[in-house]
Chains A and B, each alone.
Chain A
Amino acid sequence: MIPVEDIRARAKDLLQSGKVRAVLGYRRSTAGLLAEPAFMTTADETAALVLDPTCVGNLALYLVNEKKRMKHARQSDKRPLGIVAKGCDSRAITVLLQENHIRRDEVIVLGVSCETGGMIDTRKLNKALRGKGATSAHFEGEGGVRVSYVGGGTILPGKDVLADRCLECAKSYPLDADFFFGEKVDERPYGPRFAAVSAIAEKGSEERSAFWDAHFERCIRCYACRAVCPMCYCDECVVDSTNFIVGPTTSADEKADRVRWINRSATPSENAMYHMVRAMHLAGRCIDCGECERVCPVNIPLRLLNTMLEREALEMFQYTPGIDAEQPSLISSFRDGDPNDFVR
């Protein structure tokens, strides 16, 4: 278990010494159980920093969003950003480095290990508590989570309440951190890698097709899955009804003739197209932070799509994204020994 005071002290020191322009961490939220992102710019604010199984969000997203924001900012503070990163979050940072989207000196990583724990899945927790709303959740020894609710509390086994991605996590600590907190634990008491996707992948194509049709029909195209994904950093997206190349000099004909690959209508075929395009663009890039699935308001199991492609990348190319910033990314590299003719 990581003493949160240690992280607060480090964040405070970084801000006081002026080494960073802000620290991205977690704080309690008025909206519910899950911690919310905190942008701390003064040493005082670090007192509110928390670290527990409710810190589910992947803050690497904000490295991408800040880069966009700084492009338009009148004054640019070139100092790096401090960021609290779990194992999965740090893999996202590494992918951004592999793709040259950010530079290593733009970020100071406060790496935290999940050890034998992980992050809460609120849907599982609500089920386990049978509707009693949880007010707090903390790690409790070997794979357990201590949960409080109004009028009581209980200790639940991690496997009942942790997110699927945490149960299947291959590396529960950051490989690349400037400051490291916690223990590096490689033996975790949970299920095998790719358990959830393997269960669905075994089914026949008709059954899988019906499964996804039913889910995509319910999609409202709020794009929360896209917006929360640190890897979805394109300035232009195929699903947007206008794109950002439109400027004062764009002619009316050009605007009228712009290609709309996917209609705005949230109909089953358009929705399926959107999700397929997104999944394909994440092949060999997704590091399984599970955020797309968490934020979906209608509970579409989006993580399955991405882990399927993650499994393909591993089985076909022995490639795991986010392990080494120096390693070329899967889709921008080739091997001389590749068995396919078109590569040579």
Chain B
Amino acid sequence: MEAILKRNRLGQWITELQERAEIYAPDFVEDTWEFAKVGRGATVELNHSNTVRPAKRFVFPQREVLYRFRIENSQSPKLTDTEPKVESTVVFGVRPCDGRAMVRNDRVFTCGFSDPYYQARHDNVVFVGLACNAPPSQNCFCVSVGGSPHSEDGLDVLMTELDGRYHVKALTDKGSDIVRSAGDLFQDVKAADMDDVGNAHAIALEYSQRSISSMEAVAAALRRNFDSPIWDKLARACIGCGACTYLCPSCHCFDINDEVTNKSPLTGARVRTWDNCQFPDFTMHSSGHNPREDTGARLRQRICHKLLYFVETHNMQQCTGCGRCITHCPVGIDIVKIANVMEEGVWQ
């Protein structure tokens, strides 16, 4: 289902959707772009570069309460279900790299076994994507990992900005629903509109991005170099913070902890939080043994998970080329450079 929305009607569409859903869109907060709740009557511009934090938190929040517990007088514990009751949510301005990351997150959380917390959120959120027409940011490399500035994967709607209007393409039932519900705001698509869409998409592809020449060769090189000393060299400057993975749209590792709120009777919650392979306690054994005991082994884990292990398991790179881990690394660690160094074997 495709339609045309005049630019000055975007606000009206959002207002109509606010009758039945929470609306989120990128907002410029503290000099950074963040998905923020859109207030009644607020203006949404959709002129953002990518948000600092990805859209994954709408389906996989940093903290999820799995259940609450209460133990009284040595009786058996009483558990309370806390499966999330999620408000209908529509997220505008999702970039295609974050959309493609959602496909990867779905693989992890819904294939084989469906995670009820993830699924409940997923069922109630609509991702409205925005094709990247402007020149890419300096660390974008979506094309190298099989994506594109107008990829539809993982999105419910893809909007492409044209002169004074948007081409709006619904890609799922959820997407069709939010377009159809405000049907009178939209116009039919004419042949000239389709030409403009084609042009906008073609121009976007012509901008030069950072590139990795062959993902197959990179995967093979990573497989060959598991024990290579190059990892220590590449990670020499790594300070061991978690910015790269917490900002990644497809990183999904989590930790589970009990948070006790009262000692007698013992009450609290079992909580799932994001975990981070760059932290020293990640997968540390209870014996004290640490299978990834230095920054080299941890960097290897991150890169191999993105560009090798996920390919072996799911036949696609887990990385979608948003470039956040490069831009926000305090010391310039660069997955594109690492992939190319690996493939070319220049250190040998």
Cα A221 to Cα B333 with chains together (Å): 19
| B283-303 vs A, Cβ < 8 Å mask (1 yes, 0 no) | 010111100011000000000
For B, the interface residue count at a CB cutoff of 8 angstroms equals 48
Q: B286, A31: Cβ atoms under 8 Å?
A: no
Q: B236, A36: Cβ atoms under 8 Å?
A: no
> For residue A297, which residues in chain B have a CB less than 8 angstroms away from its CB?
32, 52-53, 243, 246-247, 328
What are 30 residue pairs bridging A and B, where the CB atoms are less than 8 Å apart in the complex?
A: A30-B334, A30-B337, A31-B139, A31-B329, A32-B138, A32-B139, A36-B237, A37-B331, A39-B236, A65-B239, A69-B294, A127-B31, A133-B138, A218-B30, A221-B242, A222-B247, A223-B279, A224-B242, A228-B241, A240-B279, A246-B284, A246-B286, A248-B289, A263-B257, A265-B259, A266-B273, A298-B32, A298-B53, A299-B31, A300-B30
B240 within 8 A of A: yes
At the interface, is chain B mostly helix, strand, loop or mixed?
loop
Q: B330, A57: Cβ atoms under 8 Å?
A: yes
- Nearest first, the 7 closest Cβ-Cβ pairs linking A and B are A36-B332, A29-B332, A227-B241, A224-B241, A295-B330, A31-B332, A247-B288
Q: How far is the CB of A206 from chain B (nearest CB, A)?
A: 20
| B59-88 vs A, Cβ < 8 Å mask (1 yes, 0 no) | 000110000000000000000000000000
Q: How far is the CB of A289 from chain B (nearest CB, A)?
A: 12
Q: A220, B246: Cβ atoms under 8 Å?
A: yes
Cα A248 to Cα B328 with chains together (Å): 37
Q: A31, B241: Cβ atoms under 8 Å?
A: no
Q: Closest residue of chain B to A66, judged by CB?
A: B236
Cα A227 to Cα B284 with chains together (Å): 19
Chain A residues numbered 64-114 whose CB sits less than 8 Å from any CB in chain B: 65, 69, 72
Given A247-B288, A295-B330, A222–B242 Cβ distance below 8 Å?
A: yes
| B220-257 vs A, Cβ < 8 Å mask (1 yes, 0 no) | 00000000000000001101111100110000000101
Cα A220 to Cα B244 with chains together (Å): 12
> For residue A294, which residues in chain B have a CB less than 8 angstroms away from its CB?
330
Cα A160 to Cα B62 with chains together (Å): 36
B144 within 8 A of A: no
Given A36-B331, A227-B239, A30–B336 Cβ distance below 8 Å?
A: yes
Q: B53, A220: Cβ atoms under 8 Å?
A: yes
> For residue A255, which residues in chain B have a CB less than 8 angstroms away from its CB?
286
A242-B281, A264-B273 given; name 19 further pairs at CB < 8 Å: A30-B332, A30-B334, A31-B139, A32-B139, A32-B327, A37-B236, A72-B293, A72-B294, A215-B30, A218-B29, A222-B243, A222-B276, A240-B280, A246-B288, A248-B288, A263-B271, A265-B62, A265-B271, A295-B241
| B18-33 vs A, Cβ < 8 Å mask (1 yes, 0 no) | 0000000000011110
Cα A228 to Cα B243 with chains together (Å): 12
